[in-house]
Chains A and B, each alone.
Chain A
């Protein structure tokens, strides 16, 4: 005679727990906070609708990430890219993000991240920041483990190049920062 254990409240709690991570992933994909949050909202609805297909005890984070990713690409296909490669689309909108203002280094990094092809960006985010293994990432992205590995390594190479840290020299980001700082003083 246990008190009723409402299953969906469990599901709700678990889903809630994934949200900080999910939003971070959404922003990595969509670039902008507002778009990312719309994407997260759609993902919550979708996930809720198919909660029967989630097996308890399995990795809910990977499950929801997969839903969000599918949602993102299917919306992109439907709409086409509205904001295509307009310079600074990633960075400008994220510049308003509180707590990161004045962090020029981070702005440079975001700009570089934005320039990566989608498949490379998602791979390096999932492996390098979301904490998924190559295997889990391959499952989320629906491709082979080897593909993910090569996307991650290409993403690294591209990022290093974009940030000017590909060689031995470590003054790349500093040089970039210095020029902006100088501009700030002049202007």
Chain B
């Protein structure tokens, strides 16, 4: 039916589960809520440290890559 048109209007309008949200937009919204809750968390320090270490190790292992051709 008019599921497609409901998708967008349902998303912005229905903040509560009580409204006339059609099941598809309800699922879409829940899915994004679930995902965004994690996505908005701070990145754990362990990952930032790890990347820092990998980057440093790589630079240390090949210090003069640039001057190769010159």
Measuring CB to CB, which residues of chain A are less than 8 angstroms from any residue of chain B?
A: 4, 6, 8-9, 12, 15-16, 19-21, 23-24, 27-28, 37, 40-41, 44-45, 48, 97, 99-100, 105-106, 109-110, 113, 124-125, 128-130, 156, 159-160, 163, 165-166, 170, 173-174, 177
Q: Which of B37-63 contact A (CB under 8 A)?
A: 37-41, 43-44, 46-48, 50-52, 54-55, 58-59
Tell me the interface secondary structure of chain B in the complex: helix
Interface band, chain B = 35 or more
Measuring CB to CB, which residues of chain B are less than 8 angstroms from any residue of chain A?
A: 17-21, 23-24, 26-28, 30-41, 43-44, 46-48, 50-52, 54-55, 58-59, 66
Chain A positions within 8 Å of B24 at CB level = 156, 160
Provide the bound-state CA to CA distance between A130 and B41, in Å.
15
Chain A positions within 8 Å of B17 at CB level = 105, 170, 173-174, 177
Chain A positions within 8 Å of B18 at CB level = 170, 174
Tell me the interface secondary structure of chain A in the complex: helix
Q: Is the CB of A9 within 8 A of B23?
A: no
Nearest CB of A to B40, in Å: 7
Provide the bound-state CA to CA distance between A173 and B21, in Å.
12
Q: Is the CB of A110 within 8 A of B20?
A: no
A41 and B50 in contact, given A8-B59, A106-B34, A128-B28 (Cβ under 8 angstroms): yes
Nearest CB of B to A72, in Å: 16
Given A100-B37, A170-B17, list of 12 further CB < 8 A pairs? A20-B41, A23-B39, A23-B41, A24-B39, A28-B35, A48-B58, A106-B33, A124-B31, A128-B32, A129-B34, A165-B23, A177-B17
